[in-house]
Amino acid sequence: MAEMNLAEKIAKILYNKKALDITVLHVGHMTVITDYMVIASGRSALQVKALAEDVDDMMAMEGVALRSKEGMNEGRWIVLDYGTVLVQLFHPEDRQYYHLERLWNDGQNSVALDFIKDED
């Protein structure tokens, strides 16, 4: 599965599971760690854990191997590493504090997600 398609598929899973503020960033030109970051929030630690479990289950069914995961016990900031895609799931307070978008968005690397409607 191509990297961008994988990132978009993960974002769609999160969207369907009611994750908040989903962002996909292409970061391959900024780091060797990964090519894409999918960043999203849950409303509570319980929802953050459920989102991580849902992504993990769906990716396993697709045959996409999870390299590692961190933060499942606390549910405040969970990282799922799929190699070319890192999924960062946050409790809203932690997301605001760490604000990864500020660190990884260069103003041109945000991936448009056409399934997310403007809700203004």
With contact defined as beta carbons under 8 Å apart, do 94 and 57 qualify? Answer: no
Helix runs in 1-120, H state only:
3-16, 45-62, 92-98, 100-104
pLDDT of residue 58: 97
Structure tokens at 87: 């999924």
- Stated pTM of the model: 0.91
Residue 51 contacts residue 92 (beta carbons within 8 Å): no
When the candidates are 3.30.460.10, 1.10.150.130, 3.40.50.720, 3.30.1330.20, the CATH number that belongs to 3-104 is 3.30.460.10
Q: Band of the pLDDT at 120, cuts 50, 70, 90?
A: very low
Q: In the predicted model, is pLDDT for residue 39 greater than 60?
A: yes
Nearest partner of 93 among 107, 113, 74, 108, judged by Cα: 74
- Give residue-wise pLDDT tens across range 44-99: 999 999 999 999 999 999 999 999 999 999 999 999 999 999 999 999 999 999 98
Q: What are phi and psi of 44, to 5 degrees?
A: -150, 170
Q: What is the pLDDT of residue 1?
A: 58
Q: 57: closest CA among 7, 13, 88?
A: 13
Task: Report pLDDT for 118.
Answer: 54
Domain boundaries of the chain, sorted by first residue = 3-104
Q: What is the pLDDT of residue 102?
A: 86
Q: CA torsion sign, 54 to 59 to 63 to 66? A: negative
For residue 105 the two structure tokens come to 């968005």
96-118 pLDDT, tens digit per residue, is 999 888 889 888 898 989 888 65
